[in-house]
Copies of this chain bind each other. A is one copy, B any other.
């Protein structure tokens, strides 16, 4: 936990932004895998954690802006709980460390809310148990919960959580450095005959050993052309590329998110290096462009143009790269966005809605293939933390569909592309803080060019 002052300051900022009414922040509960008590690793809701600081299930926090008071609803462990789980800090002492003095039994919450005439601000739930609770507490049919969400509360939270403080950046760097350890482990283990699941298991081990967990499901695959392909129980083969997109969540729940792509054979082939170098150029152009005031959508388009230019030079695309990007032809190779916000969530604040987090009232998300997967488009500001992650993907299913439909034949050289059918995919991803001057790369120094990666693998 941060100091009580951190949480008190955040809450007073939120209360000032909301002005009146009740801010209702339900924490997450445990979720059963195959029955109620066989639980997934507990993950607290990030906004609850940001304002109330307490990382345990069964809590709901209320800020009553009308009466300038805060109440945490939750129950202490019983002696019988302690037989099973051991002693834990009392809830009252945890609350005190977050600057919260008023702790009441959970059973008093429904009565507190029932018949309350104040405006109640709440966020859109992403777990059904929260929907059920809100429905019951507020006497709103479950299906109507989404339309009763407080946009004012969403905007106020986004306006705070988007700007990372020094103490938050320290936590993110811890997570990024553990993520580098995960990447090193993947490079160390990758060899013909080793399975994807063996490596993935070791990536979990690194994250858990560091006192946290993985920040999102591990992507460790020789089928990098599928953007979120998860590890299979299949052995790596000579000649393949391993795409490893993984992240650690540290003990404070801040996230890292890095991608490296490396050859099973420890050396890139010429064809692999050609594509890698284009991805790297795209990455570097995007990274160099980060500064306050630039729209991230423009950085995305810049990265796309680098990809189109590189593929045109290789003969896989043709025509003018800028025109190709404007037409959307590059999206065959790069069908997603070049990055997203990062913080307590790996896609930071995604549950609050991309329209509010990554876009603004004046810049709305495109619906075009490719651009519609760009989670962040707005003007950057100092304090934002984000990923840069261009890639080139040779997806045979998508290629077949486009070719059959005759799509973008003036920009794509389908004939030449046939040789790349089994190439796979390459992605390169780092995490950056936007600073007043430009940007700061997060984490300790780590290989990113093809040569650096080959040298690093040779040294492991």
Is A85 within 8 A of B344, CB to CB? no
Closest to A36 in B: B126
Q: How far is the CA of A34 from the CA of B202 in the complex (A)?
A: 23
Name A327-385 residues within 8 Å CB distance of B: 335, 344-347, 350-351
* A395-434 contact mask (Cβ, 8 Å, vs B): 1 or 0: 1011001000000000000000000000000000000000
Q: A137 in the interface, Cβ–Cβ < 8 Å?
A: no
Identical chains bound together, number:
2
- B216 near A206 with CB under 8 A, answer no
Given contact pairs A127-B128, A128-B129, A201-B205, A226 touches B38 in the complex (Cβ within 8 A): no
Known: A127-B31, A128-B128, A345-B34. A84 touches B228 (CB 8 A): yes
The answer to the question of A240 belonging to the interface, with a C-beta cut-off of 8 Å to chain B, is no
* A344 partner residues in chain B, CB cutoff 8 A: 34
Number of A residues, CB within 8 Å of B: 70
Q: In the bound complex, how far is the Cα of B395 from the Cα of A216, in angstroms?
A: 36
With A128-B128, A217-B41 given, is the CB distance from A79 to B226 under 8 Å?
A: no
- Whether A201 contacts B197 by the Cβ 8 Å rule is no
Contact with A35, one of B195, B206, B345 (Cβ below 8 angstroms): B345
Q: Which residues of B contact A142 (CB under 8 A)?
A: 132, 135-136, 142
- Nearest neighbor of A127 in chain B, beta-carbon distance: B32
Alpha-carbon distance between A207 and B132 when the two chains are bound, in angstroms: 34
Smallest CB–CB gap between A405 and chain B, Å?
A: 11
With both beta carbons as reference points, the residue of chain B lying nearest to A206 in the complex is identified as: B201
The 7 closest A-B pairs by CB, nearest first: A86-B226, A201-B208, A201-B205, A128-B128, A211-B233, A35-B351, A128-B129
